[in-house]
Amino acid sequence: MNALFLAYKPAFISSNAFLHRIKKRHNIAKAGFSGTLDPFAQGSLLIAAGAYTKLLPFIPTEPKVYEATLWLGAESASLDTENIIHIDSALPFAKTLGSAHAQEMAQEAVQNLRGEIAYTPPAFSAKRIDGKRAYTLARAGEKVTLEQAYMQVYDIKLLCYNPPFITFRAHVSKGSYIRSLGQIIAQNLSKALGLEVSATLSTLKRISEGSLQAKSGALIALNPLEILPFPHLVLDECIRDYFKDRFYHGKPSTLKSAQGNFKILPNTHNKKNPQSKNSLHIVQFEDFFSIIGLQPNGTISYLLNRIPYAHTL
């Protein structure tokens, strides 16, 4: 089966376990997803099956939009509700947290995080250390040290401040860790209060990836030709059969002598000039399509030369 669809992962199941559940339900042999969601998190998960797994690197999934709630006074080894170590039920700054001034400080702690942010990924993360997942080592009780990384925060907004909870929405780049972003918010609040504030995420929801947004309890089938961000190169009938064979087998080809026998239709997702140098294009035939690079001299390079065309479960 070749399929591309959006699923809504519920909380408290790993992305891999959720994927296995879908594969079993729909008798899918091979499948993958665009970006791991933490077990305690819920939300949109872009899934590809069969040959369509090759399309995942080409599908726009930025910005990723999350809504999260930060629990002040709770401490967790994994920075979420799965590994709670301690909950401070009698916060020394409880009165301060409830003040109107604290609302302003919470606003500033969140709002000041736009741009490129340096952070240390959580020990309980999918980062690899010597070929092993960091979360595997952390769960085994081993010490995990990860290098500093960077995330791009395109936008962030305080949605609600109800002590001891701060709820925010963040638009971020791929590979970002919202748990780490929550820690930075807590650190900013600590500086503003002059007190040490421990915190962990109590909820996390991925609202969307790029323009893709799942619905709870539903699988949304996607047509790859509608969401891939490349203009379509349409061949005239007089050259279609010739190029169909060459594209199918990935043979070296050029369109230099075919000027006037093809046209380029801009894709609504493509913000670049479809005629730009070295731009990527989709060429569709009756039963497959290809993603190619078209050089200024007409030379064709194949990124994916033969993807079966089918988009329903």
Per residue of the chain (313 residues), give pLDDT as tens.
899 999 999 999 999 999 999 999 999 999 999 888 999 999 999 999 999 999 999 999 999 999 999 998 888 777 787 777 788 765 655 556 666 677 788 888 898 899 999 987 776 666 666 666 666 766 766 676 677 889 999 999 999 988 889 999 999 999 898 999 999 999 888 888 777 888 899 999 999 999 999 999 889 999 999 999 999 999 999 899 999 999 999 999 898 877 667 777 766 544 444 444 448 999 999 899 999 998 888 889 999 999 998 655 4
Q: Which residue has the tokens 């301060």?
A: 96
Q: Which of 299, 308, 306, 304 is nearest to 248 (CA)?
A: 306
88 is catalytic: no
Q: Which domains does the chain have, with CATH numbers?
A: 3-59+212-224 (no CATH), 64-209 (3.30.2350.10), 226-308 (no CATH)
Q: Which of 39, 43, 79 is nearest to 61 (CA)?
A: 43
Q: How far apart are CA 2 and CA 31, in angstroms?
A: 9
Q: How far apart are CA 188 and CA 46, in angstroms?
A: 33
Secondary structure (3-state) at 85: strand
Q: Are 43 and 13 in contact (CB under 8 A)?
A: no
| Confidence at residue 255, expressed as pLDDT on a 0 to 100 scale | 87
Q: Choose, from 38, 88, 241, 287, the residue flagged as catalytic.
A: 38
